[in-house]
């Protein structure tokens, strides 16, 4: 009888071991290290709130926080609106629509390194396509250094991030559109509703649960963005395009300040939690269709 009680736990022991070693232990370790001074390769020692005091008193930290919230504030609406427009386009019953679905989704599965190389070429100062276009059609004289000037560098990262990730959110919106019964649109058409009225009175309200998922997912992605910053600007100029995700990496693996980087990671989680909580507070205002 005793073995029968232990047997189920033996089956899940490998999974629990991996979960504890690779998920829970690193989380606890980061929280503990955020209260330590750990300048590698020197051993760590207890510091208390010293890392947080240094963080909150640093102008550089608040610049990075501002950049992060600007990134989130522009990236999330851009992804939601862009993905919704793409989903509405590919929701039509047109020839070769599957080709366009794959085409719009392609950037999401493309390597960030390849994406960064292409966009670096587009935004290059001297030989970039964008500056060539501006010089040819708008007769601009001085080329714009998109990747190394304020505020262009941060805006470039937002544009590239929206372009790369909107394809995935497009599929989520498409699933939501396909779940809306066509009988609702037929009834609205009988009542004399226009296409615009049907969109704002039927489509958008019934897509609100899907929109909630996309907004929360996009907020988390925006706060933890790192690869596009590292591949394109590396925070230039003077941290004007650096976000918290990149700032954590730089302090941890460039400056070897593991304790300070752990404190930054905890602040990042705190910001994500606050913004996500605000989204949840508005959840009850949304419409849910029941057949």
Question: What is residue 284's predicted lDDT score, i.e. its pLDDT?
Answer: 59
Tokens (6 digits) for 11: 């089956």
User: 57-96: per-residue pLDDT in tens?
Assistant: 999 999 999 999 999 999 999 999 999 999 999 998 878 8
Indicate the helix (H) or strand (E) that contains 36. strand 36-37
Position 281 confidence tier, pLDDT thresholds 50, 70, 90 = confident
- Residue in 218, 265, 216, 188 with CA at minimum distance from that of residue 78: 218
Residue % of the chain over a pLDDT of 90: 63
Question: What is residue 291's predicted lDDT score, i.e. its pLDDT?
Answer: 46
Q: State yes or no: pLDDT of 54 exceeds 90.
A: yes
- Provide the whole-model pTM: 0.90
Question: What is residue 5's predicted lDDT score, i.e. its pLDDT?
Answer: 76
Q: State yes or no: pLDDT of 3 exceeds 70.
A: no
- Under DSSP, is residue 284 helix (H, G, I), strand (E, B) or coil? helix
**Among 60-74, 135-149, 168-182, 241-255, which stretch is predicted with the lowest mean pLDDT?**
135-149
Is pLDDT larger for residue 3 or for residue 200? 200
Position 147 confidence tier, pLDDT thresholds 50, 70, 90 = very high
* Domains and their CATH numbers in the chain: 58-285 (1.10.3720.10)
Q: Are 244 and 69 in contact (CB under 8 A)?
A: no
Q: DSSP 3-state helix, strand, coil percentages of the chain (rounded to 5)? A: 75, 0, 25
Residue % of the chain over a pLDDT of 70: 96
């Amino acid at each position: 009888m005793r073995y029968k009680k232990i047997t189920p736990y033996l089956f899940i022991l490998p999974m629990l071991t991996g979960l504890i070693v690779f998920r829970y232990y690193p989380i606890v370790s980061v929280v503990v290290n955020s209260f330590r001074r750990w300048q590698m390769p020197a051993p760590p020692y207890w510091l208390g709130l010293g890392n947080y005091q240094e963080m909150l008193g640093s102008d550089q930290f608040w610049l990075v926080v501002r950049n992060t919230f600007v990134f989130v504030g522009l990236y999330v609406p851009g992804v939601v609106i862009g993905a919704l427009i793409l989903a509405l386009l590919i929701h039509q019953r047109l020839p070769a629509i599957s080709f366009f679905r794959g085409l719009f989704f392609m950037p999401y599965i493309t390597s960030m390194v390849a994406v960064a190389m292409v966009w670096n070429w587009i935004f290059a100062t001297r030989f970039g396509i964008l500056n060539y276009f501006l010089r040819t059609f708008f007769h601009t004289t001085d080329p714009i250094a998109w990747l190394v000037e304020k505020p262009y560098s941060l805006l470039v990262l937002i544009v590239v991030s929206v372009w790369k990730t909107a394809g995935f959110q497009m599929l989520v919106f498409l699933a939501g559109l396909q779940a809306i019964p066509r009988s609702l649109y037929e009834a609205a058409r009988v009542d004399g509703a226009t296409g615009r009225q049907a969109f704002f009175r039927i489509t958008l309200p019934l897509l609100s649960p899907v929109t909630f998922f996309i907004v929360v997912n996009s907020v988390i992605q925006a706060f933890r963005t790192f690869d596009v910053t590292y591949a394109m600007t590396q925070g230039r100029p003077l941290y004007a395009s650096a976000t918290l995700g990149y700032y954590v990496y730089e302090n941890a693996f460039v400056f070897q300040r593991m304790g300070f980087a752990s404190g930054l990671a905890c602040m990042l989680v705190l910001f994500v939690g606050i913004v996500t909580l605000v989204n949840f507070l508005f959840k009850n205002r949304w419409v849910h269709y029941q057949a």
